[in-house]
Amino acid sequence: MSATEVKDDRKYTKDHEWLSDDGKVGITAFAVDQLGDITLVDITVKPGDELKPGAAFGTIESVKTLSDLFAPVGGKVVAVNADLEDKPELVNDDCWGAGWMIQLEGAEGGDLMDPAAYGKHLEESDH
């Protein structure tokens, strides 16, 4: 997995989170690369919770740091990836698939970039 990998079927935030068409939220390969080996994913929301764009929904801990996770858009939480509780390494192994974190319904708001804009953002970022 390349740190500059960008999937065409997602929208992105400047903070390296992604949103898929089905409302799933995760972090990008760039974020995983920056974090290193992930040791804990703590999702603090539950299905039924309403989130506003930019609201914290948990934390992610790695050997290097502890970071907050933010909702790229607002919406109702309809699912939480419970597998991450016992297997946080799923984010390292498959950040685009099995490592998703929450799923939102009625996604709205947020300052999202399309894949091309996110790719440009990565090029312009201080790696």
Choosing among 3.40.50.2300, 2.40.30.10, 3.40.50.620, 2.40.50.100, the CATH entry for 11-120 is 2.40.50.100
Range 55-67 average pLDDT: 95
Question: Which tens digits make up the pLDDT trace of 68-89?
Answer: 999 999 999 999 999 999 999 9
Q: What local confidence, expressed as pLDDT, does residue 44 receive?
A: 97
pLDDT at 127 over 80: no
Q: How far apart are CA 103 and CA 105, in angstroms?
A: 7
Mean pLDDT lowest among 19-23, 25-29, 50-54, 108-112: 108-112
Edge-first strand order for the sheet with 50-51 is 10-12, 17-20, 24-27, 102-108, 74-80, 50-51
Q: What local confidence, expressed as pLDDT, does residue 101 receive?
A: 98
Q: How far apart are CA 76 and CA 4, in angstroms?
A: 30
Q: What local confidence, expressed as pLDDT, does residue 126 receive?
A: 57
* Domain edges within the chain: 11-120
Question: Which tens digits make up the pLDDT trace of 21-44?
Answer: 999 999 999 999 999 999 999 999
In percent, how much of the chain has pLDDT > 70?
A: 98
Residue 32 phi/psi, 5-degree rounding, is -60, -45
Range 39-59 average pLDDT: 97
